[in-house]
């Protein structure tokens, strides 16, 4: 079976735990494409974790770094970009997402996301908590604040609940053609 080619750049957005990085890797492998994760790029350039950036420099500095990472990724030839969960918070980023290719929103329920994040060893080390609420309540609160922004950028919405990363990648490929 021939390798499917991407019709244009794919940008994956959504709350943390929706599978953006995992799906980006799979899509890149399936299409022989290059990919990047903006959070990984931010931490690589900073030399320390997202959580440490938040603690030492504050959220605004992190968002500056995130915008720089997105702009840098768009200037390069990356075919797939997995974006940090809060990338949609800045108007500049939303405009970049809307003009750069097909933006795919990955979604799942707060209950599923909480379960995934509790099982992800990177969460405690790399990802800052935003509130003192339980993890599921925090997810519900943050998603409620961001949902309209996510939807305003999305060309395609994929629910990742009860699907493997392989199934999500296949769905993205079939719907983005």
Judged by phi (left if over 0) then psi (alpha if -120 to 50, else beta), residue 9 lies in: beta
Mean pLDDT throughout 8-26?
Answer: 96
The SS3 call for residue 132 is coil
Q: And the tokens for 157? A: 């919405």
- Domain residue ranges in the chain: 10-175
Q: CA angle 124-129-133, nearest 5°?
A: 115
Q: And the tokens for 10? A: 């794919």
Answer yes or no: pTM beyond 0.85: yes
Q: And the tokens for 139? A: 């997810």
pLDDT at 47: 94
Lowest mean pLDDT among 44-58, 101-115, 124-138: 124-138
Per residue in 64-79, pLDDT (tens digit) is 999 999 999 999 989 9
- Tell me if the domain spanning 10-175 has CATH number 3.40.50.300: yes
pLDDT at 17: 92
What is the rounded distance in angstroms from the CA atom of residue 44 to the CA atom of residue 102? 26
Q: Are 158 and 104 in contact (CB under 8 A)?
A: yes
pLDDT at 128: 65
Query: Quick one: CA torsion of 142, 101, 20, 49, rounded to 10 degrees?
Result: -70
Non-local (6+) Cβ contacts of 68 within 8 A are 45
Per residue in 139-157, pLDDT (tens digit) is 999 999 999 999 999 999 9
Mean pLDDT throughout 87-110?
Answer: 97
Looking at the chain, the whole-number percentage of residues with pLDDT higher than 90 is 78
């Amino acid at each position: 079976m021939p390798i499917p080619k991407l019709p244009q750049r794919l940008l994956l957005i959504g709350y943390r735990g929706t599978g953006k990085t995992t799906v980006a890797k799979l899509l890149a492998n399936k299409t022989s494409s290059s990919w990047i994760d903006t959070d990984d790029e931010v931490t690589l350039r900073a030399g320390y974790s997202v959580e440490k950036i938040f603690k030492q420099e504050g959220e605004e500095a992190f968002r500056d770094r995130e915008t720089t990472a997105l702009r840098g990724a768009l200037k390069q030839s990356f075919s797939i970009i997995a974006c940090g969960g809060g990338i949609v918070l800045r108007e500049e980023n939303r405009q970049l997402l809307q003009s750069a290719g097909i933006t795919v929103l990955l979604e799942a329920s707060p209950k599923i996301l909480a379960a995934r994040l509790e099982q992800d060893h990177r969460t405690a080390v790399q990802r800052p908590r935003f509130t003192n609420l339980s993890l599921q309540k925090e997810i519900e609160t943050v998603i409620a604040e961001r949902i309209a922004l996510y939807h305003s950028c999305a060309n395609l919405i994929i629910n990742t609940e009860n699907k493997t990363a392989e199934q999500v990648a296949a769905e993205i490929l079939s719907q983005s053609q």
